[in-house]
Amino acid sequence: MIAFVSGPVAALAPDSAVVEVGGIGMAVQCTPDTLSGLRIGQQTKLATSLVVREDSLTLYGFADDDERQTFELLQTASGVGPRLAQAMLAVHNPDALRRAVATADEKALTAVPGIGKKGAQKLLLELKDRLGAPLGTGGPAIGTAVTSGWRDQLHAALIGLGYATREADEAVTAVTPQAEAMESPQVGRLLKAALQTLNRTR
């Protein structure tokens, strides 16, 4: 198993990064939140999980070991593959997921694309004794409100993903109505919306 990759970031895309390891470019699938912390040319170290299929080898990357472990534990539930597990971590950080399972919070799970009410109920039952208790010491979940500076954070994340300043400016403008409609702007959700806008215009 490839436990981590370490090296300069060679390229960034909306759902992946390429990290140069010993002269080889390793493509790593990442959540928007993980990608937002990467910059082309800068050194990074990502915890990784290798998913082996008959026709593919896919490397998933995470900001830390807790995210990777949660990613792997989520897949022990029936019907949860790597893509759905990654989608869950794109919406909630590991501690938020542990809290959702510990408190039987269906609403938190149905916020994840691809999980309906019945699926959430099933996951709550299956994951109850697997994820463990919330630690309460992690950073905010991706969906956690950011009360100030969302424009700067979103703009920096888009630049880090390789978009031009003009493109980042336009994307921030495009999602401003959505941000203003929120009680408190949530950078993770806004980043996803901005990426969708950019993909439509390219």
Beta bridge partners of 51: 58
Write out the residue range of the structural domain in which residue 37 sits: 4-62
Domain with 93 in it: what CATH number? Answer: 1.10.150.20
Q: Are 54 and 102 found together in one domain?
A: no
As for how many domains the chain has, the answer is 3
Question: Does residue 135 lie within any of the structural domains?
Answer: no
Greater pLDDT, 202 or 171: 171
Domain with 49 in it: what CATH number? Answer: 2.40.50.140
28: exposed, middle or buried (Cβ count in 10 Å: 0-12, 13-18, 19+): buried
55-64, 88-97, 137-146, 168-177 — which is least confidently predicted?
Answer: 137-146
Q: Which two tokens stand for residue 155?
A: 């703009």
Question: Does residue 180 lie within any of the structural domains?
Answer: yes
Whether the model clears a pTM of 0.75, i.e. scores above it, the answer is no
pLDDT in tens, 129-155: 888 777 764 444 444 333 346 787 777
Question: Does residue 145 lie within any of the structural domains?
Answer: no
Q: Are 49 and 81 found together in one domain?
A: no
| Phi, psi for 80 (deg, rounded to 5) | -105, 110
User: Which pLDDT value is given to residue 53?
Assistant: 87
**Which of 36, 62, 88 corresponds to the end of one domain?**
62
Greater pLDDT, 157 or 26: 26
Asked whether the beta carbons of 48 and 68 are under 8 A apart, the reply is yes
- Quote the percentage of the chain above a pLDDT of 90: 41
Question: Does residue 140 lie within any of the structural domains?
Answer: no
First to last CA, the chain: 36
Question: Does residue 141 lie within any of the structural domains?
Answer: no
User: Which pLDDT value is given to residue 40?
Assistant: 93
